[in-house]
Amino acid sequence: MADRYKTGEQAPKAGTYEFDGLVDGRKNNNVTEDEKHIELSNGDTFPPLRSSKEAAYWKKA
């Protein structure tokens, strides 16, 4: 199992995931506190950041 998941991939397990950088390599693009963590169910698709719609990396919290 990978440690990092990208926008568009499916969650391998239900749970809380946290923001782990933007796909373009930037660590932070003024990410708000409320979008640093997301709740996903098994099989849900990892989303882009809500505020900027940019592709992001996520990791299990």
Would you say residue 13 has pLDDT above 90? yes
At 4, which amino acid appears?
A: R
H-type alpha helices, 1-61: none
Q: What percentage of the chain carries pLDDT values higher than 90?
A: 70
Task: Give the model's confidence band at 32: pLDDT under 50 very low, under 70 low, under 90 confident, else very high.
Answer: confident
Task: Give the model's confidence band at 28: pLDDT under 50 very low, under 70 low, under 90 confident, else very high.
Answer: low
| 4-36 burial code (b ≥16 CB/10 A, e <16) | ebebeeebeeeeebebbbbeeeeeeeebeeeee
pLDDT of residue 2: 59
Q: Where is 56: in which H helix or E strand?
A: strand 56-60
Residue 17 near residue 40 (C-beta atoms within 8 A): yes
User: 43-57 pLDDT, tens per residue?
Assistant: 999 999 998 899 999
At 23, which amino acid appears?
A: V
List the domain boundaries for the chain.
Answer: 4-60
State the chain's mean pLDDT as an integer.
Answer: 90
